[in-house]
Structure formats: C-alpha cells, structure tokens
C-alpha cells in the first residue's frame, strides 16, 4: 500500500497574538483507508512565453474522486508568476472566471482535483520560468 503524506506549517505574528498552524494528512482513496496509488511523477516545464498550456489533462487518470495536484513556481522573482486555471480554454487574465489565481515566484499549492477539467497555466513573462508539478491519484 502506498503512503503519501502532506504537511503544512504556518507561523505568523500578523495579528495581536501569534498563529501556529501545523497540519498533516495522509492522502487516501475515496472512502477508504488505503493510500493513493497512482502519480504523474514529478514534472517540470520551462516556460518562455505567456502562452497558456495544459499541464494536467483531465483524462490522464481514471479516478475522479480523491486526486490532488501539487504545483510550485521555482522562480525566486515574485514578478514571474503563473496564472493557474481550471479549464483548457481559460485565458491568462485576472478577469477570467476560470482562473484560480496567480502562483508567484517561490509559491506552491496543493489542491483537491476531481480530474473533470484540464488544469492550464500561463506565465506572466517571456523570461524563462519553471513550473514543477505532480498529480496524486487513486
């Protein structure tokens, strides 16, 4: 049985009292005690244009219940970000309803994924920027 664990730790003094959040989860199959067993493998893609590109295809995996997607912008420059969208035709623009958000340099995300739509990204720059990503699935 595969074991995939994810952990996040958030410490902040932004409020008048400190915030300390430490959470972890084991990625499991839908309604099961068994771990996820399939992965896309860790992938990287270098972008040198602002053209939108599908990085996760909806039909790549057969299960649509308990998948997760990890993405990280490897740049250290906050001016180099990726628009992340949940549809193949989503435009790289803040006004598009399909855009999830911007993944700035050094930022990462882990989101649940039903594998019912493609996940598309577009770089904000024509400078070389690398996206690291991986899908965990049943």
Q: What is the pLDDT of residues 72-115, one digit of tens each?
A: 999 999 999 999 998 755 455 544 457 888 999 999 999 998 88
Question: Looking at residue 37, what is its pLDDT?
Answer: 76
Instruction: Please answer whether residues 68 and 113 qualify as being in contact, where contact means their C-beta atoms are separated by less than 8 angstroms.
Output: yes
Question: Looking at residue 110, what is its pLDDT?
Answer: 94
Mean pLDDT over 39-61 rounds to 89
Instruction: Please answer whether residues 130 and 121 qualify as being in contact, where contact means their C-beta atoms are separated by less than 8 angstroms.
Output: no
Q: How far apart, in Å, do the first and last CA atoms of the chain sit?
A: 12
Q: What is the mean pLDDT of the chain?
A: 86
Question: Looking at residue 96, what is its pLDDT?
Answer: 46
At residue 31, does pLDDT exceed 90? no
**Among the ranges given (16-20, 33-37, 111-115), the one the predictor scored with the smallest mean pLDDT:** 33-37
- β-pair partners for 123: 82
pLDDT interval class at 8 (50, 70, 90): very high
Question: Looking at residue 63, what is its pLDDT?
Answer: 64
**Distance between CA atoms of residues 138 and 27, nearest Å:** 9
Mean pLDDT over 115-132 rounds to 91
**Distance between CA atoms of residues 102 and 1, nearest Å:** 35
Which domains, ranges and CATH numbers included, belong to the chain? Answer: 37-137 (2.60.120.770)
């Amino acid at each position: 049985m595969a074991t995939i664990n994810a952990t996040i730790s958030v410490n902040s003094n932004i409020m008048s009292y400190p915030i300390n959040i430490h959470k972890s989860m084991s990625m499991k199959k839908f309604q099961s005690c068994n771990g996820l067993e399939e992965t896309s493998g860790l992938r990287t893609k270098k972008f040198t244009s602002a053209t939108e590109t599908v990085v996760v295809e909806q039909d790549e995996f057969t299960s649509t219940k308990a998948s997760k997607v990890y993405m990280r912008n490897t740049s250290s420059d906050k001016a180099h970000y990726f628009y992340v969208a949940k549809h193949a035709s989503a435009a790289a623009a803040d006004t598009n309803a399909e855009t999830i958000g911007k993944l700035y340099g050094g930022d990462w995300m882990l989101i649940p994924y039903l594998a019912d739509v493609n996940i598309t990204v577009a770089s904000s720059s024509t400078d070389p920027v690398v996206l690291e990503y991986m899908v965990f699935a049943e």
